[in-house]
Structure 1
């Protein structure tokens, strides 16, 4: 069984792939920025904040077609995205949901 550090490292790797996936998509990026309230020029700074990577995965998981496209394009099993979310800071499903 993998230890917590290697699980978190793997989770961060998936989240960084997800961020690249979102950033490269001309439709997803504006939606992500609108949902998070982050300005495009602030993404690098925001990426260092606790919970940012979890937020990227929550964004991917919130829309099944996006999740499936991410999984297909990156070779990441869809179930791994949810597991990665739970391994990241602030990714334990104890977050506010939009109304």
Structure 2
């Protein structure tokens, strides 16, 4: 199943809301990306920012499982959403 950009943005916003509510993981995200709470608030609907949220979550299987469980999503849906956002196209290195 392929998500369109609107569906991907909606899913990424849900993932961002989950991340913001995660007191343990939010500081890790902020430290890894250099964003502040104000940056998140001001740019929450920016597709590139939403892509970075999904990039971050996709770095760790445990984060994927926790987020998808909380949002009642199949695990592969985060990757599919990332692919539909700017910069998410799969790179073929051959």
Query: Across the two proteins, how many residue pairs are aligned to each other?
Result: 91
Any runs of at least 4 consecutive aligned residues in structure 1 with deviations exceeding 4 A, and if so which?
none
- For structure 1, the residue ranges without an aligned partner over 5 or more in a row are 95-99
Task: State the partner residue of 1:14.
Answer: 11
TM-score by length of 1: 0.81
- For structure 2, the residue ranges without an aligned partner over 5 or more in a row are none
Alignment check: 8 A CA contact 1:32 1:59 kept:
yes
Alignment check: 8 A CA contact 1:18 1:56 kept:
yes
Report the aligned-residue RMSD.
1.9
Task: State the partner residue of 1:57.
Answer: 54
Deviations, residues 38-93 of structure 1 (Å, cap 9, x unaligned): 11122122324441111001111111001001111111111111010010012225
Task: Please give the alpha-carbon distance, in whole angstroms, between the structure 2 residues aligned to 1:64 and 1:48.
Answer: 25
Task: Please give the alpha-carbon distance, in whole angstroms, between the structure 2 residues aligned to 1:52 and 1:32.
Answer: 12
Alignment check: 8 A CA contact 1:71 1:78 kept:
yes
1:7 Cα deviation after fit: 1.0
1:36 aligns with 2:33: yes
